[in-house]
Structure formats: structure tokens, C-alpha cells
Amino acid sequence: MKMSKRLIAGLGVLMLGATLHANADQHDDHGHYDNHGDNHYDNHGDYHGNDHRGPQDNHRGGPPPRDFAPVRQIIHDNHVYFVRGAPPPPGVIVVRGRPLPHGYYGERLDNRALSHLPYYPGYEWRRAGPDIVLIAAGTGIVYEVLQGVLY
């Protein structure tokens, strides 16, 4: 009789684990339903989910472009939503194709600004003084530096 109770208890634990795993794909860390599959985290582990997109859906679903002239125009046209960040510490230089300097992560843009920028899975927008930087979220490697776009 003990064996059957253990077997039942073990099966219950397995079923509970499978249910939790299945529900994890549909809910974000805050318990909100999400069936888009595009949850993402920055390199500090902060959840962003879909809350950075406003009325316009800037979800591209592909890699970032090589030409950022349209993004520069978006920033120019919506400049009231973009504020200049604090300058990087002395000696910190953000270079395209290289990781962000150790200990420096740039500043996160607020949701109003992010709602105007295109979203690229696996990448995150940051600001560094008058510049906006697109980085690979997992590695911190700088994909693009939009120099001087923040006034």
C-alpha cells in the first residue's frame, strides 16, 4: 500500500510541474498573460515584456537594419519624448562592435521614448549623453551608436 501512495504522490508532483511549465509560457514574471513569445530581459535581468510599445506596434521581428536614418528621423520627429542622458564617466567610450565598457550599461530609455522606437528581439535601446545606443541584450555588444540625436 505504501508503494501506491508514493507512486500517486510522485505522479501528482510530475503533473504539477508540467502544468507550471506550460503556464510559464503564457504568463510573464508579473502574472500577466502573454502569448506573443517576445518577452525579453535586459542584461540586468529586468523584464520589459510588451509594455515598451505604445499605440503603434514597432515589433519588427527581425534583426536590426544597417541603415538607421529612419530611426534618426523618428527620434527627430518625436524629440519631446527623448531626453538627453547623463554623459558616460570619464574615460568611457562607447564603440560600435565592442561590448559596453565594464561597469557601464548606459541609461534605460523610458517607456514613452521606447514606444516610438522599433523593437528588435534580443536588442535593447540605451542612452549615453547625447547618443542613443542599440546593444545586444545578452552580451552588451554595441550594434549601433546614433551620435548626437538627443538635444
Residue 124: per-residue pLDDT: 96
Looking at the structure of the chain, the number of domains it has is 2
- CATH code for the domain of 98: 3.10.450.160
Tell me, yes or no, whether 19 and 62 share the same domain: no
pLDDT band at 4 (very low <50, low <70, confident <90, very high): low
Residues 31 and 45 reside in one and the same domain: no
Q: Are 109 and 126 in contact (CB under 8 A)?
A: yes
Q: What is the pTM of this model?
A: 0.60
What are the pLDDT digits (tens) for 99-145?
999 889 999 999 999 999 999 999 999 999 999 999 999 999 999 99
Domain that holds residue 5: 1-35
pLDDT tens column, 22-59: 444 433 443 333 333 344 444 444 434 443 444 344 55
Query: Would residue 52 count as lying in a domain?
Result: yes
In a domain, 151, yes or no: no
Q: What is the DSSP code (8-state) at residue 51?
A: T
